[in-house]
Amino acid sequence: MKFEQYRISEGIKKSISKLGYKKPTDIQFKSIPPILKGEDVLAIAQTGTGKTAAFAIPVLDILNERKIKGRRSDGVKCLIMEPTHELALQTESVFNTLGKHTRVSSFCILGGVDQEPQIKQLSKGVDILIATPGRMFDLVSQGALSLKRVEILVLDEADHMLDLGFIKDIRDLMRHLPRKRQTLFFSATINEKIKKLAYSLVTNPIRIQISPKDPVAKNIEHAVAFIEMDDKRFFLENMVRNFPEAKILVFVRTKVRAERVKKAMERVNILTETIHSNVLQEERERTMRNFRNGDLKILIATDVSARGIDIPNVEYVVNYDMPETLENYVHRVGRTGRANQKGQAVSFCSSEEKEILAGIEENLGKNIQRLEISKKDYQNALDFKEEEPDDWRSLMKKAEKEGLQFRHEFKEPVKKKKKPKKNRLGK
């Protein structure tokens, strides 16, 4: 079945056609009809399958039809909850693109930016509100946002919501919503905790689960290379210099690691940026914008910040640090090979991380392809780094500079040398 055969707004069909989409993906094919009928949906599908459009298309059509029939805009009609700023902005972009030729207005609110422009926009009237929990509850508590008119609730990336500890926020949210509503619950994975939450929110839902045998998309080639922890920066440098025009997304485990890798690349004159929860929202948006349009080639990210983000034309994903779980592994490598494009992902696995690799492969049900590196090639990668000064004066200056920088970053006081006390004779 093609999109043009669906009984949806011609304006939405026009937007879909401009995007070049002709046939729905599996999750879209199974989700759109029941949502259009007003049924609750519990949908489980891996990343990169088109989940956002699976609920955006029918939600836009439902609200557009109600507007055409003369229903006035007297408050937010659809609330979409997202776990992170990046996902919220991405979802807003999808709704604005698909809803361009409809009468439906969409707006995104999130923390880290001035709330006054958001309050001003809400006062003008918004049909679809995309929100992160923190800012949404702030505006509700201030009386700047009312959710009493919400007819459709969408919980997107629900498993990630739970990972970030938002379960209490989700339950608190229900107190502000009408009991009579349509609820759409979308998640990349399912477990008992997620299932329990889902069935406490939905009523007689249509359950949809797209579970391929291999959770990693077929158009992604993924492999692992055994590289010791202290050598990883040289192999990353090697890779970047071998593919200077490639867009590369590098995953690390923590915010501190992200900044360390960035500094290691700066020392060899490679431009990178980081994205994690400590980066200001304005900087995060600028970084993501530059990475999307290709002005920035190398982005270093943590799982929390980059999960679920749809970034076009990422040729390579690098697991600089091995992810702790299969779910995180699938989410990471799924940032490349989007839609019909080919993608490549490589994991740098140190001796300390082999146990993590074994756990991922056990849950994956197969071994990840090995990239065999000979001793000679391994040494060549280490020798690939730019020559650093080897005279003792330069090395001492570098060590002193890094020591002062370390103290500054961690705000450790630099002890001043005490002057020797003079005795009565002035000696």
Q: How confident is the model at residue 425 (pLDDT cuts 50, 70, 90)?
A: very low
Please give the pLDDT value at position 421. Answer: 52
Query: Residue 11 — pLDDT band, cuts 50, 70, 90?
Result: very high
**Is 86 in contact with 277 (CB distance < 8 Å)?**
no
- pLDDT at 306 (0 to 100): 65
Give the pLDDT of residue 380.
87
Instruction: Report, as an integer, the average pLDDT of 271-279.
Output: 92
Higher per-residue confidence, 191 vs 209 = 209
Residue 298's pLDDT is 97
Q: Which of 239, 219, 216 is nearest to 373 (CA)?
A: 239
What does 104-123 look like in DSSP terms, one character per residue? --EEEE-SSS-SHHHHHHHH
Containing 221, the helix (H) or strand (E) segment is strand 220-226
The fold adopted by the segment(s) 3-210 is Rossmann fold (3.40.50)
Task: Inform me whether the pLDDT recorded for 419 exceeds 70.
Answer: no
pLDDT above 70 (res 24): yes
Domain 220-383 has CATH 3.40.50.300: yes
Residue 33's Cβ-count burial label (10 Å; 0-12, 13-18, 19+) is middle
Domain with CATH 3.40.50.300 in the chain: 3-210, 220-383
| Coil, strand or helix at 97 | helix
Q: Confidence band (pLDDT; 50, 70, 90) for 391? A: very low
* pLDDT higher than 80, residue 82: yes
Residues 128/73, Cβ–Cβ less than 8 Å: no
Amino acid making up residue 318: V
- For residue 417, is pLDDT > 60? no
125 Ramachandran zone, left/alpha/beta (phi>0; psi -120 to 50): left
- Exposed (0-12), middle (13-18) or buried (19+): which is 100, by Cβ within 10 Å? middle
CA distance 164 to 167: 8
Mean per-residue pLDDT, 257-269: 95
Q: pLDDT tens, 321-339?
A: 999 888 889 889 988 987 6
Mind listing the pLDDT tens digit for each residue in 56-72? 999 999 999 998 887 66
